[in-house]
Chains A and B, each alone.
Chain A
Amino acid sequence: MSTPGTRREFLYGLGSSLGAVAMSDLLAREGVGAGPLAPKPAMHEPRAKACIMLFMEGGPGHMDTFDPKPRLTELHKKESKLTRGLETGFKFFVGSPFKFRKVGQSGIEMCDQWKHLADPVVADELCNYRGCQAESLNHPEALFHMNTGSRLGADPALGAWANYGLGTLNENLPGYVVMTELAMPQGGPGNWSNGFLPAHYQGTRLRPAGSPILDLSSPAFKDRRHLRRTLDELAFLNQKHGAEHPGHGDLAARMESYELAYRMQMTVPEVVDLESES
């Protein structure tokens, strides 16, 4: 079997019944993905094309990296009478061990530890928003707050909103992808959930070890030929069923998801293979 070149060839050329059903659907949709993840016209013309959010919990604080606090420096080692925190005993202020300087044409401030970021080529592309305030002392609530806007952890995440608002052009990957460390962050999947938005908009976690998406690969004793054959039989059964229930819209979407799964098996490992990055 030669590798089909285009998506249409792939489905049409199989001689399987799935092809016929999905084909008409495809033609109606004119190419790029459809359904709830289809790219949508935005309410306001966005200037951004994509969003990559690097959320690095547990790193050094803002006062040591990008947000100099001159008053804090003055108060270094002086006693603190503040009562807001939970500490007991003798309390004192601790200034940053680092010095700050302005870099680039914009004069953005950063501590003297940054070398590459301080290069004007990079620094002048940066914009610092120093207005965020957290409200929680503890990890999960703070994580939820940063990722979803609510400390309670049941709201849609930023990525879910972006996915909802803009859709995706990529037919072979989920619209909202989450790459975590090996350990799940505190709070777990509540940090990339769809909340009250429909389930399509949730983040799909690409796992750093093992299979990038849960169960992406077939069990070791079943190869891709086995899968293709199985999907063909599945298409036969589903097509028959679909013909008996013509009004039922979900059936076609489910059938399509199997073909997407088949494609993703090939593309996802490529995407997460950092060795091939230049």
Chain B
Amino acid sequence: MRAIRPVRHALVLAGTLVVSLSLSPAAEEQGARLFALKVFPLLKEKCFACHGEDPGKVEGKLNLLSLEGMLRGGENSQRVLVAGRPKQSDLYRAITWEDGELEMPPKENDRLSEIQVALVRDWIAAGAPWPDEKTRRRYLVAERAVAVTEDGEIFRTSGGLSEEWTYRRYRPADLWALRPVAVGAVPGEEHPIDAFLDSRRKEAGFEAAEQADPLTLVRRATYDLLGLPPTPDEVAIFRKAWREDQEKAWGALIDRLLGSPHYGERWAQHWLDVARYADTGGYSNDYERSNAWRYRDYVIRAFNEDKPYDRFVIEQLAGDELADASVRRRLGITGNKLQQLRLNGNYTAEEREWLVATGFLRMGPWDNAMVKAPEARQIYLDDVVSSVGQTFLATNLRCAKCHDHKFDPIPTRDYYRFYAAFAGTQMAERKVPFLPEENLKRFEEGRLQVKRLLSFATQRKNSIKEKQETAAKAWFTERKLPYLPEQKRRNLPDEEKPPRHVGLDHVDQGRLKVREQDEWIWTRRLERYEPMIQGVYNGPDLPQKGNRARKMRIAGTPDRNWRPESVIYSGGALEAPGESVNPGVLSGCGVPVEGSTDRDPYRIGEELEGRRLALAKWIADPRNPLTTRVIVNRIWQHHFGKGLAGNSNNFGAKGSRPTHPVLLDWLAADFVENGWTFKRMHRLIMTSRAYRQAGDHREMKALRGKDPNNELLAYFPPRRFTAEELRDTLLVATGELNRTLGGLPIRPEINREVALAPRMIQFSIAPAWQPSRTPAERNRRTIYAYRVRGLPDPFLDLFNQPNPNDSCEARHSAAVTPQAFTLLNSDVMTDRSIALALRLQGEARGLEQQIELAFQLVLGRSPDAVEQERLQAYVGDMRDYHRRGKIERDRFPTRVTRSLVEELSGKPFDYEEILPVFENYVADRKPADVPPVTRALADLALLLFNSNEFLYLY
């Protein structure tokens, strides 16, 4: 038997068959290299765990950790490895799974791919060389010295938990978003956007679509910028101007729209989708976040003021740190004096705005009921890290919470450094006086209603307590003991006090619990009218007593020396703390933190104050390859329906690659060069020819075949109204919309069954949905509608308003059958149709004129002769129909009976909930309020509201 070359160690060859190979030195070298780079890591990943790594449990007695082991074989095979003969090696046969008897690794999920099987085959065929560790290392180092090979690109980061991860190779194209933004030359003379789009489209062999007609254009622009329809007057004015001078008319239109305060409302909505805005906290209690609305209005103002995006980023992430720094400069105070100021809120207007902006960090669902403090803390911080990653960097950081990212160059170390940057951030409802711009109307009326509900709860609670205490007194009297009130006897041993709920049956007990809960809820909701914000501050972690989500306040005396213990949690588990980390940013972006050293350019300082500011500045750094691409991509998405990069929250390997990468970079660079402002970018996009294209194309069929997703943007993509556009448009058409900006959330009427249905929260049933009392309050724009995480508005939800527990990068718009039900049958639509009918009757004489007006208001055009004829017949028939029918008047209940199971006895009980708003409610006009002829016109209105022409924008 002869030794196999070039192995340098001794072999145990008993019972094995060795074949001598005559390989050239180059081929042997190749085999050894193959083993070092590919096969050994593969064996390590797939085999060693069961076959040798655990000396106490070696499966099949087969140790694969060494060549000797392989050649020795195991219980099931003596021919595991036959060097030079893969087909005779049981190792090879096992991994191909062709044997039937021998399938390795045993689980289908772990099975080797064809490529991996081929690697092992090639290695065995090359004589199964097994270089020693030193040699293998040499090969690895040499391989890793070359950044880009045919196997992919090594990407530098702060390093993974394993070398394999650190030096793994990526498909270069997958790393597109991490390359510095490159400014390419505009390929042509025309508008830069058209130049880039044209060049790709022409390559594919298609012309652009025709220009859209003026009606389509004015509607498109108005919806894109305001989320509202143009009025008939605005349409007429635009058409006239368009006939005179198209460019001038278009420019003037854009200027007018960008100057409208409704622009801020529209674009704030896009931002709130990503930020996950809601007015409640979610989970089991779904506590109200009574002041979240101030953040919503901040966002609206930011857009209306055209606040530069870099400022927008910094204010939302570190507004409190900006405010504190400003106070220090302004007043020269620090320490306890500064803490006092934080508590009493004596900030300037500018500082207050910054503080309101930090509401962004409070937009995730959170409740720590029944969760231990460290875990609840982790849930919050993970949520912030994840949200910041998705919102500003289109990066899924949460993937790296438990391990190095599976697809992107984000080590788990970077996740925890990012996490450490937030580790001093504490949630608090803070005192921040109102700004002059904030809308404080309706506070008094609102407060009165809350107080009414509070006093009802308190009254009922008190009467049960009285009953209890009457029985308690009797108990003491019977035993000839002095009476002790509840608080005083609480800590006495059982024999010395009456039972806890003495004198109360299960019904009383159940009701008592409900009323105590209600009292708490309504007391807390008075905070709506207080100058407070949902904000943050920097401070130590607090010991938890009870449910912190109930009441979060700044801790009175800060511990100046406290620092969070920041480590990598292995597997994301608090029970498995690993390596310590400093706060830091993502190492893969190649952008240093301001003021850092060369030794670790991605590190943020360890002071408790200033971590978020440093992180925010790093995000807002013009050199950050992600930030600027992400935002221009979002702006593009909200004009063209889809981003240039199709997944606006994910620019990683698993997100869609940009269809026009050079254009995207050009836009990003242009954005930064010109001040990071949105309005300029809207103008740039909307003045392109591409934006003004028609939605149809003469070669549509061919286009659909070659470019089914319209990546070429050879025509303008049609879209359906969003939920907000739909509701707002209905209100504009009927004339009901109240265009007031900002302020406390309002409550539209929602489906009655849903509004009154019992909704479980911790211990009780949530207060019923009571719509706002007057039409003027109810009929505000939808962005002002009270948003409850646990109870979506069924109408809006149906039209794909997103779940605010998750960041929404793009809305769905599927046509599902429940939409048909709601658009045809719901009270909401019935009311809108009645309102439109009344408007038609008020503003037009005679059926023909009324139909004309209906078309103008709903569809923006005149009906043709056929439509007039048919619809006159339709309305006539409906008139007859309604004259014959009977109709019942609807009543709003002022009380509702609730039923629950009492917790300790398991027996049902009921209690009463009052709905005081219905006592002097100003309802919308209902079918029973109007004559048959109006109901017939309402049928016409409903018809138009259900039509495709109404719901789709071209």
**A residues with CB within 8 A of B:** 36, 86, 136-141, 152-154, 174, 182-190, 193, 195-196, 198-200, 204, 207, 209-211, 213-221, 226-227, 229-230, 233-234, 236-238, 240-242, 245-248, 250-251, 253-255, 257-258, 260-261, 264
Binary contact readout B854-893 vs A (1 if CB under 8 angstroms, 0 otherwise): 0000000000000100110010011001100111100000
- The residues in B between 483 and 500 inclusive whose CB is less than 8 angstroms from any CB of A are none
Report whether B284 and A186 are in contact in the complex, using a CB–CB cutoff of 8 Å.
Answer: yes
Bound CA–CA A242/B874 (angstroms): 21
Closest to A84 in B: B372
The 8 Å CB contact of B871, one of A207, A216, A233, is: A233
Chain A residues positioned under 8 Å from B800 (CB to CB): 199
- Pairs across A and B, CB under 8 Å, 6 listed: A199-B800, A234-B947, A248-B695, A250-B813, A254-B948, A260-B820
Q: How far is the CB of A7 from chain B (nearest CB, A)?
A: 15
Report whether B284 and A214 are in contact in the complex, using a CB–CB cutoff of 8 Å.
Answer: no
Given A183-B760, A247-B697, A199-B825 contact (CB < 8 Å):
no
Report whether B825 and A229 are in contact in the complex, using a CB–CB cutoff of 8 Å.
Answer: no
**Does B140 have its Cβ within 8 Å of any Cβ on chain A?**
no
The 8 Å CB contact of A186, one of B753, B760, B827, is: B760
Chain A residues positioned under 8 Å from B753 (CB to CB): 207, 209-211, 214
The 8 Å CB contact of A237, one of B704, B821, B949, is: B949
Bound CA–CA A199/B819 (angstroms): 12
Given A140-B284, A221-B927, A257-B819 contact (CB < 8 Å):
yes
Report whether A215 and B821 are in contact in the complex, using a CB–CB cutoff of 8 Å.
Answer: yes
Those 9 A-B pairs whose CB atoms lie nearest each other, nearest first:
A154-B806, A137-B370, A261-B820, A183-B758, A138-B370, A199-B814, A247-B700, A254-B815, A215-B825
The 8 Å CB contact of B877, one of A209, A229, A264, is: A229
Chain A residues positioned under 8 Å from B367 (CB to CB): 138
Given A184-B760, A245-B696, A215-B751 contact (CB < 8 Å):
yes
Bound CA–CA A153/B814 (angstroms): 21
Chain A residues positioned under 8 Å from B695 (CB to CB): 245, 248
Bound CA–CA A229/B879 (angstroms): 13
The 8 Å CB contact of B817, one of A174, A233, A240, A250, is: A174
**Does B371 have its Cβ within 8 Å of any Cβ on chain A?**
yes
Q: Which of B313-321, B620-628, B787-795 contacts A (4 or more CB under 8 A)?
A: B787-795
Chain A residues positioned under 8 Å from B720 (CB to CB): 250
Closest to A135 in B: B375
Report whether A261 and B814 are in contact in the complex, using a CB–CB cutoff of 8 Å.
Answer: no
Given A211-B753, A229-B874, A234-B947, A154-B805 contact (CB < 8 Å):
yes
Bound CA–CA A124/B821 (angstroms): 44
A-B contact sample (4 more), CB < 8 A, given A184-B759, A187-B283, A247-B696: A215-B821, A219-B927, A230-B824, A234-B947
Chain A residues positioned under 8 Å from B952 (CB to CB): 248, 250-251
Q: How far is the CB of B902 from chain A (nearest CB, A)?
A: 13
Q: Which of B99-107, B298-306, B938-946 contacts A (4 or more CB under 8 A)?
A: B938-946
- The residues in B between 787 and 837 inclusive whose CB is less than 8 angstroms from any CB of A are 789-792, 794, 797, 800, 803, 805-806, 812-822, 824-827, 830
Report whether B794 and A214 are in contact in the complex, using a CB–CB cutoff of 8 Å.
Answer: yes
Report whether B947 and A241 are in contact in the complex, using a CB–CB cutoff of 8 Å.
Answer: yes
Closest to A226 in B: B881
Report whether B697 and A198 are in contact in the complex, using a CB–CB cutoff of 8 Å.
Answer: no
Question: Count of chain B residues with Cβ under 8 Å from any Cβ of A?
Answer: 79
Closest to B802 in A: A154
Report whether B751 and A214 are in contact in the complex, using a CB–CB cutoff of 8 Å.
Answer: yes
Q: How far is the CB of A152 from chain B (nearest CB, A)?
A: 7
Chain A residues positioned under 8 Å from B759 (CB to CB): 183-184, 188
Chain B residues positioned under 8 Å from A209 (CB to CB): 753
Given A221-B927, A257-B816, A257-B820, A153-B805 contact (CB < 8 Å):
yes
Chain B residues positioned under 8 Å from A233 (CB to CB): 870-871, 874, 943
Report whether A199 and B812 are in contact in the complex, using a CB–CB cutoff of 8 Å.
Answer: yes
The 8 Å CB contact of A257, one of B760, B815, B887, is: B815
Report whether B939 and A230 are in contact in the complex, using a CB–CB cutoff of 8 Å.
Answer: yes
Bound CA–CA A196/B802 (angstroms): 10
Given A190-B803, A255-B948, A182-B758 contact (CB < 8 Å):
yes
Report whether B284 and A183 are in contact in the complex, using a CB–CB cutoff of 8 Å.
Answer: no
Bound CA–CA A205/B812 (angstroms): 19
Chain A residues positioned under 8 Å from B947 (CB to CB): 234, 237-238, 241
Chain B residues positioned under 8 Å from A234 (CB to CB): 943, 946-947
Chain A residues positioned under 8 Å from B822 (CB to CB): 214-215
**Does B389 have its Cβ within 8 Å of any Cβ on chain A?**
no
- The residues in B between 363 and 408 inclusive whose CB is less than 8 angstroms from any CB of A are 365, 367, 369-372
Bound CA–CA A251/B762 (angstroms): 44
**Does B7 have its Cβ within 8 Å of any Cβ on chain A?**
no
Closest to A174 in B: B817
Q: How far is the CB of A178 from chain B (nearest CB, A)?
A: 13
Closest to B809 in A: A196
Closest to A254 in B: B815
Q: How far is the CB of B952 from chain A (nearest CB, A)?
A: 7
Report whether B803 and A198 are in contact in the complex, using a CB–CB cutoff of 8 Å.
Answer: no
**Does B241 have its Cβ within 8 Å of any Cβ on chain A?**
no
Report whether B946 and A199 are in contact in the complex, using a CB–CB cutoff of 8 Å.
Answer: no
The 8 Å CB contact of A214, one of B754, B871, B954, is: B754
Report whether B372 and A187 are in contact in the complex, using a CB–CB cutoff of 8 Å.
Answer: no
Report whether B818 and A204 are in contact in the complex, using a CB–CB cutoff of 8 Å.
Answer: yes
The 8 Å CB contact of A258, one of B697, B751, B820, B882, is: B820
Binary contact readout B574-597 vs A (1 if CB under 8 angstroms, 0 otherwise): 000000000000000000000000
**Does B141 have its Cβ within 8 Å of any Cβ on chain A?**
no
Q: How far is the CB of A198 from chain B (nearest CB, A)?
A: 6
Chain A residues positioned under 8 Å from B450 (CB to CB): none
Report whether A218 and B825 are in contact in the complex, using a CB–CB cutoff of 8 Å.
Answer: yes
Bound CA–CA A209/B371 (angstroms): 34
**Does B718 have its Cβ within 8 Å of any Cβ on chain A?**
yes
Chain B residues positioned under 8 Å from A219 (CB to CB): 825, 827, 830, 927
Q: How far is the CB of A87 from chain B (nearest CB, A)?
A: 11
Report whether A188 and B948 are in contact in the complex, using a CB–CB cutoff of 8 Å.
Answer: no
**Does B761 have its Cβ within 8 Å of any Cβ on chain A?**
yes
Given A153-B805, A230-B939, A186-B761 contact (CB < 8 Å):
yes
**Does B757 have its Cβ within 8 Å of any Cβ on chain A?**
yes
Chain A residues positioned under 8 Å from B715 (CB to CB): 247
Binary contact readout B25-57 vs A (1 if CB under 8 angstroms, 0 otherwise): 000000000000000000000000000000000
Given A137-B370, A241-B947, A198-B821 contact (CB < 8 Å):
no
